[in-house]
Amino acid sequence: MPISDVSPVLKQALEEQMIGTPTVLHDDGTTSPPPMALFIDVNALKENFENCKKAFGDGFLHAMAIKANPVSRCIKMAVEAGIGIECASIAEVMHGLRCGCPEEHIVFDSPVKTRPEIDYALAHNVHLNIDNWQEMDVVAEAYNKVKDTTKAVIGVRVNPVVGSGSMAIFSTCTATSKFGVTILDDAVRERFIAKVSSTPCITCLHVHVGSMGCKLELMAEGVQKTVQLALDINKRAGFDQITVLDVGGGLPANVDTEETTPTFEEYVKALKDVVPEMFPGKGPFKRVITEFGQAFNCKSGWIASRVEYDKEVGDETHLPLIHAGADILMRTCYLADMPKHQKRLFVYGSNGDIKEDDVCLQDIGGPLCFSGDVVAKQRQLPRANRGDFVVLRDCGANSISIFSRHCSRLAPPVYGYVVVDGKAQLTIFKESERVDDILHFFGGESTWPRQS
Ligand SMILES: Cc1ncc(COP(=O)(O)O)c(C=O)c1O
């Protein structure tokens, strides 16, 4: 999404009072206009779906990991584009179904599925990936009860132990990772082959090497080891038992420039170089699933917040205080020493024009009452004063989806937009949260009627 697109969108949002300087506090806790919002570039998101489909070709189901962005309108856009959804909880499964996602395009991946959740997934013909040895028995038992009626595909997640990449916290492929069946050595591998080949309901292997910090070569190596495991299971079974492969998500989204690197094409090339037999028609797999979260969403969203106050701290640091902090940008604040979680920031005047002059050293503070709530540290930026707007780029993934209740701040509205001939058209994708929503979360009394 070109940086030049932000200004017309911000100006239009200011004109329509979709963001701005709050003048009214309603009884439901919202303010008009809201001081902060998440903006989704509709065309950028759609383009990402199309680029992915084109790069991988036929025989793939691309299931968007909605933990990265569960905004209903975005899920519906995915569904319209023929993209499925990857779900980390039963609520995500139900959310996807309510958004109209076809059952066979839903992949359920939680590591702690309860028996009733498993039964629900089987009854709804949802693809289900088992996480561990015990779950294999639980699912096999549940499956046998409904095997004549369910169309659910059953997979098992494996950890091929290819190492952690550059961010251990987002790696899932070390020897001690909590995910999947860890194929630690030849003895475990043999036990796994014996178990799967004697559990006929399992027809898929699943691998997700990690999120962020994993190079394409590492991801391809994880897929290659999983494919080899599938081929060995099929050999043991004496027929093609494993006909579905799920290669997970994990394609990193860069946050340092406007360009997208790596691209879906580059990932496909890395996979073709290392493991060509994973592609439908080249090996036993009739269907291959991917589960991209950040690669679809990260670069298509940005957050804008009014600078509520600004002050000077230390010897020479300017400190604007904004409404986006560790609540919506949890990883940016809690992982402040990781460059890949830091955002590119731009400053706009109260009229929506970008500011380029008067550059100075700044920390950008958030709204929460703890000192780690700083979204950018020691940055050289045009001075952001009270009434200006700070725009944080590449916030379409893992922002609203991991919104924290700390300090009971209201989650902001989310807007979708397109820019046509330099003019922005905005749609409300999600309204601002209300105090009622927070009281509901904390078990309090929700009594206020919604204000119009
Ligand atoms: C099983 C699984 N699939 C897909 C994803 C999405 O990862 P990413 O957003 O890095 O593509 C995750 C992320 O945690 C995951 O755990």
Mapping DSSP onto H, E and C, the string for 151-188 reads CCCEEEEEECCCCCCCCHHHECCCCCCCCCEECCCHHH
Residue 84 Cβ inside 6 Å of ligand 1? The answer reads: no
What's the pLDDT at 444?
85
8 A C-beta contact, residue 253 and residue 394: yes
Which of the residues in the chain have pLDDT under 70? 1-4, 165-170, 447-452
Residue 249 Cβ inside 6 Å of ligand 1? The answer reads: yes
The residue nearest atom 5 of ligand 1, judged by CA position, is 249
CA–CA separation, 173 and 283 (whole Å): 25
Query: Given the CA of residue 211, which atom of ligand 1 is nearest to it?
Result: 10
The residue nearest atom 16 of ligand 1, judged by CA position, is 208
* CATH 3.10.150.10 applies to domain 42-297: no
8 A C-beta contact, residue 388 and residue 364: no
What's the pLDDT at 3?
61
> Is the peptide bond preceding residue 22 cis, with omega within 30 degrees of 0?
no
Q: How far is the CA of 451 from the centre of ligand 1 (A)?
A: 38
Q: Locate tokens 């969108």: which residue?
A: 9
What's the pLDDT at 166?
65
Instruction: Report CA 75 to chain centroid distance, whole Å.
Output: 11
Q: How far is the CA of 86 from the centre of ligand 1 (A)?
A: 8
Convert the pLDDT of each residue in 364-411 to its tens digit.
999 999 999 999 999 999 999 999 999 999 999 999 999 999 999 999
The residue nearest atom 9 of ligand 1, judged by CA position, is 293
Q: How far is the CA of 239 from the centre of ligand 1 (A)?
A: 31
Q: Name residue 379's beta-bridge partners.
A: 362
What's the pLDDT at 1?
58
What's the pLDDT at 214?
84
Residue 290 Cβ inside 6 Å of ligand 1? The answer reads: no
What's the DSSP call for residue 171?
B
Query: Given the CA of residue 109, which atom of ligand 1 is nearest to it?
Result: 1
CA–CA separation, 351 and 316 (whole Å): 27
Residue 79 Cβ inside 6 Å of ligand 1? The answer reads: no
- Amino acid found at 214: C
Strand 127-130 and strand 154-159: the pairing is parallel
Q: Where in the chain is the domain with CATH 2.40.37.10?
A: 3-41+300-441
What's the pLDDT at 250?
93
**CATH number of the structural domain 3-41+300-441:** 2.40.37.10
Q: How far is the CA of 64 from the centre of ligand 1 (A)?
A: 9
Q: How far is the CA of 192 from the centre of ligand 1 (A)?
A: 24
Q: Name residue 345's beta-bridge partners.
A: 392
> Is the peptide bond preceding residue 262 cis, with omega within 30 degrees of 0?
yes
Q: How far is the CA of 127 from the centre of ligand 1 (A)?
A: 16
Q: Where in the chain is the domain with CATH 3.20.20.10?
A: 42-297
Query: Given the CA of residue 295, which atom of ligand 1 is nearest to it?
Result: 11
Query: Given the CA of residue 250, which atom of ligand 1 is nearest to it?
Result: 10
Convert the pLDDT of each residue in 144-195 to its tens digit.
999 999 999 999 999 999 977 666 666 777 888 889 999 999 999 999 999 9
Give the H or E element holding residue 204: strand 202-206
Residue 62 Cβ inside 6 Å of ligand 1? The answer reads: no
Query: Given the CA of residue 212, which atom of ligand 1 is nearest to it?
Result: 10
Q: How far is the CA of 131 from the centre of ligand 1 (A)?
A: 14
The residue nearest atom 13 of ligand 1, judged by CA position, is 211
Residue 291 Cβ inside 6 Å of ligand 1? The answer reads: yes
Query: Given the CA of residue 294, which atom of ligand 1 is nearest to it?
Result: 9
Residue 48 Cβ inside 6 Å of ligand 1? The answer reads: no
Q: Is the pTM of this model over 0.85?
A: yes
Residue 173 Cβ inside 6 Å of ligand 1? The answer reads: no
Query: Given the CA of residue 157, which atom of ligand 1 is nearest to it?
Result: 1
Q: How far is the CA of 320 from the centre of ligand 1 (A)?
A: 34
With CA atoms as reference, report the closest residue to 406 among 366, 372, 368, 436.
368
Q: How far is the CA of 261 from the centre of ligand 1 (A)?
A: 18
Residue 248 Cβ inside 6 Å of ligand 1? The answer reads: yes
Q: Locate tokens 């269907």: which residue?
A: 287
Q: How far is the CA of 211 from the centre of ligand 1 (A)?
A: 6
Q: How far is the CA of 144 from the centre of ligand 1 (A)?
A: 29
Query: Given the CA of residue 397, which atom of ligand 1 is nearest to it?
Result: 9
8 A C-beta contact, residue 241 and residue 153: no
Q: How far is the CA of 218 from the centre of ligand 1 (A)?
A: 15
